[in-house]
Structure 1
Amino acid sequence: MKLTESLFRLPLLNRIERPPVVSVLRLAGPIGHVGPLRSGMSLESLAEPIEHAFKLPNLSAVALIVNSPGGSPVQSALIAQRIRDLADEKNVKVYAFCEDVAASGGYWLACAADEIYAAQSSIVGSIGVVSAGFGFQDLIQRYGIERRVHASGEKKVILDPFREEDPDDVSRLEAIQAEVHDDFKAMVRARRGKRLKADGDTLFSGEFWTGRRAFELGLVDAIGEARHTLRGIYGDKVRLRPVQPRRGWLRRKLRFGTAIHGGALPEGWAGDVLAALEERALWSRFGL
């Protein structure tokens, strides 16, 4: 049989050159708890879209669009690890593109990629651990409110916002933060390796920088945005396929609004208000 005849017998789809495909997964918002007034990223909410991102036909790469001020170190590590596990299993390259902010846990997510890009004015870094809260002890005294807490276990109630701060409690918290910080630093060193161009005192101080400066420090590989960069790598015919997480955001918002108009607030609403304020504070740390 002649070669031309054998080629003619091949299925038509096999003889059509397929353009490369890059799935695009957006990782946006704070990382951690999800409540009626606060939507955040977690492995639970992202597991399905992450899996889907690595299953698209004719897949050449996965692009992560990161825009996060950080949050839970545990969820940051879990999400990043799931991405790395699938990238290694499928032998698929991963790119991260930092938008407004890839700081703290947001930078942790970016480090799941093989290459990290940022805009010149992106905020990148904040490789550290922070814990914030409020002290209400003077407030409840002013209004004659009595705080009643019954606990079994000497250290069960620490850093109670309605009591004076205990130095021993603060020391315990700082020790835990130091351990988490060590994990963060180890992950960055493992993922970035010899590309890091500054010492640990500079990189791991909790400071953050513009994308331009982050490139000089080796925290990102280049200045660039997703579409232009991926077209440069895979050609003008590359297909960018967005993968959207399934969120119950609208349903929760509607339920919350209905409860307010009905004259009642849902259980835990005060905590969600504080969570929303905490989220606002996360973004405002970076001027947003």
Structure 2
Amino acid sequence: MTDPQQPGSSGFDPKTNSVPDLWAQAATNSGAPVSDSSREPGWERATLEKLAFAALNEQRSARRWKIFFRLAWLALLAAIAFAALRQASPSTSTSTPHTAVVDIKGEIASGAEASAEFVVAAMRSALEDEGSQALVLLINSPGGSPVQAGIINDEIVRLKAKHKKPIYAVVEETCASAAYYIAAAADDIYVDKASIVGSIGVLMDGFGFTGTMEKLGVERRLLTAGENKGFLDPFSPQTEKQRAYAQTMLDQIHQQFIAVVKAGRGDRLKTTPDTFSGLFWTGQQAVEMGLADKLGNLDYVAREVVKAEDIIDYTRRDNVAERLAKRFGAAVGMGAVKSLAVSGPQLR
């Protein structure tokens, strides 16, 4: 066995005061040729520089691919948005006679697809089209905001007078509360015999947790400037004065609703004590009560009433970006706030 302390061994040589080249020695033992460049001074630095440049080139290549994929996704989203915009706009020539349709589906509320913003814009586009012979509001909604419904109702009256084209309401499953508020302004209302129609009333709902809080020993610390600033706070007791004030407000909105229905239906309405009580009826009952005119669906109205079988949809809907934002929870925070707040007056 070789003594590591003896000259010529792989250890330190005290006579020459130097350390042997272990890389060269390992290469010699393995039988591989030893390059002279590996014995030259600074070869370690050259090797490190090569490794560093190789890593840098790899990072640059990865960065280029990342930029490429990002641009590809951006181009894809732009193509989807363009296709959605083309799909949202009617493609039929304005010179072709047709029946224009605007959907009013789901909750009637600001920010919803059945909002006044979307519905009014769609109605204007439909009636301004020279080829549209009439506008059909295809309704399937349980109601919603009296403000949004009032805006749409007023615009129906204005557009009928401006364009001199008939506007019909066709009810699918439901036309209740705020939805009927809108339908009342139409020239005629068509329903299915099993449709749900009516519910001419107003409500304001909420919750009260004061008793539960007392049992749990929870104290509500609400600071306000103004004695009624905490009005309808679910964690504070409701006073009789506040309840009476809210009831007066609901009664006033109810009277506005009743006035709109009477103005829209006129002599066709057969008023009974239950007509404006908040009850709802089948489509067949609604026709008998004068809340609707006839039984019929969209195709029937387009074919037999408007005499233009071609149907063009002018409904305005959320674009792709808005739908994606909603799906990924962009409105989660607002929904959490709404879940704790008392809702305003609703026609539903």
Q: TM-score range by the shorter chain?
A: 0.7 to 0.9
Shift of 1:147: 2.4
| Structure 1 gap segments, 5+ residues each | 1-17, 260-264
1:140 to 1:252, Cα distance in 2 relative to 1, 3 A: farther
Three-state SS of the structure 1 residue aligned to 2:231 is coil
Alignment partner of 1:26 is 2:103:
yes
CA distance in 1, matches of 2:166, 2:205: 37
- Using a 3 Å threshold, how does the CA distance of structure 1 residues 140 and 130 change in structure 2: closer, same or farther? same
Q: Structure 1: how far apart are the matches of 2:166 and 2:199? A: 25
Does 2:177 match 1:104?
yes
Q: What's the counterpart of residue 213 of structure 1?
A: 285
Q: Does the C-alpha gap of structure 1 residues 40 and 25 become closer, same or farther in structure 2, counting only changes over 3 Å?
A: closer
SS in 1 for 2:274: helix
Distance 2:240 2:325 in 1: 39
TM-score for both structures, normalised by structure 2: 0.66
Instruction: Tell me the distance in 2 between the aligned counterparts of 1:203 and 1:99.
Output: 21
SS in 2 for 1:47: helix
Distance change in 2, residues 1:185/1:25 (3 Å): same
1:242 to 313, 329, 338: 313
Distance 2:340 2:149 in 1: 21
Relative distance call for 1:58 and 1:28 in structure 2 (3 A) is same
Structure 1 residue 216: deviation in Å? 0.3
Aligned residues of 1:20 and 1:234 also touching (Cα < 8 A): no
Distance 1:229 1:246, change over 3 A: closer
Tell me if 1:126 matches 2:199: yes
Structure showing greater Rg: 2
Q: Is the 8 A contact 1:129 1:180 kept in 2?
A: yes
Matched, 1:89 2:162: yes
Tell which deviates more after alignment, 167-176 or 243-252: 243-252
Asked whether the 8 Å contact 2:113–2:316 carries over to 1, the reply is no
Further displaced range: 213-222 or 108-117: 108-117
2:337 corresponding residue in structure 1: 271
Greater relative contact order structure (CA < 8 Å, 6+ sep): 1
Alpha-carbon displacement from aligned partner over 1:73-113 (angstroms, at most 9, x marks no partner): 11110011112211211111000011111011010111121
Q: What is the DSSP-based 3-state SS (H/G/I as helix, E as strand, rest coil) of the residue aligned with 1:202?
A: coil
Does 2:233 match 1:156? no
- Out of 131-140 and 86-95, give the one that drifted further: 131-140
SS, match of residue 24 in structure 1: strand
Letter in 2 for 1:217: M
Of 124-133 and 40-49, more deviation after overlay is shown by: 40-49
**DSSP-derived class of the 1:54 partner:** helix
For 1:2-41, list aligned pairs within 5 A.
Answer: 20-34=97-111, 39=112, 41=114
Query: For 1:13-50, what per-residue CA distance to the aligned partner results, in whole angstroms no more than 9, with x for missing partners?
Result: xxxxx75311100001111243xxxx453222333222
Question: What SS class does the counterpart of residue 267 from structure 1 fall into?
Answer: helix
CA RMSD of aligned residues (A): 2.4
TM superposition shift of 1:142: 4.5
Q: 1:6: which partner in 2?
A: none
In structure 2, distance between residues paired with 1:40 and 1:215? 28
Confirm or deny that 1:180 pairs with 2:257: no
Match for 1:63 among 124, 129, 136?
136
For the structure 1 residues 269 and 226, does the alpha-carbon distance in structure 2 shift closer, same or farther, using more than 3 Å as the test? Answer: closer
Per-residue CA shift, 1:242-281, capped at 9, x if unaligned?
Answer: 112131551332330xx7xxxxx94334135569xx8xxx
Paired residues, what number? 249
Measure the CA separation in 2 of the matches of 1:274 and 1:158. Answer: 14
Distance in 1 of aligned mates of 2:114 and 2:339: 18
Instruction: Please tell me whether the aligned partners of residues 159 and 166 of structure 1 are also in contact (alpha carbons under 8 angstroms).
Output: no
What amino acid does structure 2 have at the position aligned with 1:243? Y
Q: Is 1:190 matched up with 2:263?
A: yes
Q: TM-score, normalised by structure 1?
A: 0.79
Would you say the 8 A contact 1:21–1:57 is kept in 2? no
CA offsets, 1:133-164, max 9 Å, x none? 11122344444443232222222221211122
Q: Which residue of 2 aligns with 1:232?
A: 304
Percent sequence identity over matched residues? 35
